[in-house]
Amino acid sequence: MQKLKQIYEGKAKKLYETENADLLIQEFKDDATAFDATKRGTIMNKGVINNKLSEKIFGLLEKAGIPTHFEKRLNDREMLVKKVKIVPIEVTIRNIVAGGMAKLLGLEEGIILKEPVLEYHYKEDKLHDPLINDYHIKALGVATEKELETIAKYSFKINEILNKFFDSKSLILVDFKLEFGRYKGKVILADEVSPDTCRLWDKTTKEKLDKDRFRRDLGNVEEAYQEVLRRVLE
Ligand code: TMP
Ligand code: ASP
């Protein structure tokens, strides 16, 4: 598939047009940012690792009946994806208190939630991706009721599938963020699923094996991403 014009560059990925108007090439970069890109760095080989991890997880989800933008992996850093219109909402699912939820509610990290929590954040860096609810989303026309129902249904199902999958790899899925896009009248999963977008803790030691190592300067960031890839592909 030939790579044509670059149409987007985000913090971790670039998108290119292809000769097929319905398909794009998604390229994963090694750049890492945190706190609305006020912290910047590079995680060596992150792009290669996240491309392969996303391929595996999108494949797993498709098999379980979740439609995704994934078509196929092209090489180390690129995958072919469907061209979607991103719904400007970040969907977060939390199984264990960490990060933003610990801060928002003054809670200790590590509390196991009685049931998964779904959060919507409005995707707008200059507002720091504020927490919003389904009433905001519907009232402002960000998504329709039917789209939101689909998004919530898919998100909880993805949580079930990924919880089981990561558990089989001795990893705890603490929380994760999803993005959805519109494609030919339907909502499908887009973006990526990787240690950039999931908190993953080792089941035995509770060691953090995700982007929190970069956010919090914990060291061995690349090693943690490599370890997740090794376990996932095992
Ligand atoms: P949070 O606790 O900081 O809200 O993060 C929740 C999950 O979402 C965590 O697994 C990391 C992921 N995440 C992103 O993918 N992108 C972001 O910009 C942020 C803030 C979090
Ligand atoms: N990538 C996000 C940013 O730079 C934040 C994060 O993942 O923590 O805003």
- For the segment 64-88, what is each residue's pLDDT rounded down to a tens digit? 999 999 999 999 999 999 999 999 9
For ligand 2, atom 7: residue with the closest CA: 34
Computed over every residue of the chain, the mean pLDDT equals 98
CA 161 – CA 171 distance, rounded (Å) = 13
Instruction: Report the residue count for the chain.
Output: 234
The whole-number pLDDT of residue 167 equals 98
Nearest ligand 2 atom, CA 33: 4
Mutate to test the pocket of ligand 1, among 173, 196, 197 (most ligand atoms within 8 A of CB): 197
pLDDT at 8 over 90: yes
Confidence of residue 1 (pLDDT cuts 50, 70, 90): confident
DSSP 214: H
Confidence of residue 157 (pLDDT cuts 50, 70, 90): very high
Is the CB of 198 within 6 Å of ligand 1? Answer: yes
CA 212 – CA 34 distance, rounded (Å) = 9
CA of 34 to the centre of ligand 2 (A): 4
**Ligand closest to CA 126:** 2
DSSP string for 18-56: -SSTTEEEEEE-SEEEETTTTEEEE-TTHHHHHHHHHHH
**183, two tokens:** 């494609």
CA of 215 to the centre of ligand 2 (A): 8
Which amino acid, residue 224? Answer: A
- Average of per-residue pLDDT across 129-135: 98
Nearest ligand 1 atom, CA 34: 18
Contact 77, 212 (CB under 8 A): no
CA 98 – CA 199 distance, rounded (Å) = 9
- Average of per-residue pLDDT across 36-65: 97
Is the CB of 175 within 6 Å of ligand 1? Answer: yes
CA 60 – CA 101 distance, rounded (Å) = 28
- Average of per-residue pLDDT across 90-96: 99
Percent of the chain with pLDDT over 90: 99
DSSP 126: G
Is the CB of 215 within 6 Å of ligand 2? Answer: yes
E strands, the chain, in order = 6-9, 13-17, 23-28, 31-34, 39-42, 70-73, 78-82, 85-86, 89-96, 112-122, 131-132, 171-178, 180-183, 186-189, 198-202
CA 184 – CA 162 distance, rounded (Å) = 26
The pTM for the full model equals 0.98
The whole-number pLDDT of residue 71 equals 98
DSSP 133: -
pLDDT at 190 over 90: yes
* Cβ neighbours around 166 below 10 Å, total: 22
- Average of per-residue pLDDT across 11-26: 98
Q: Is residue 16 packed enough to be buried (19+ CB in 10 Å), middle (13-18) or exposed (0-12)?
A: middle
**1, two tokens:** 């598939």
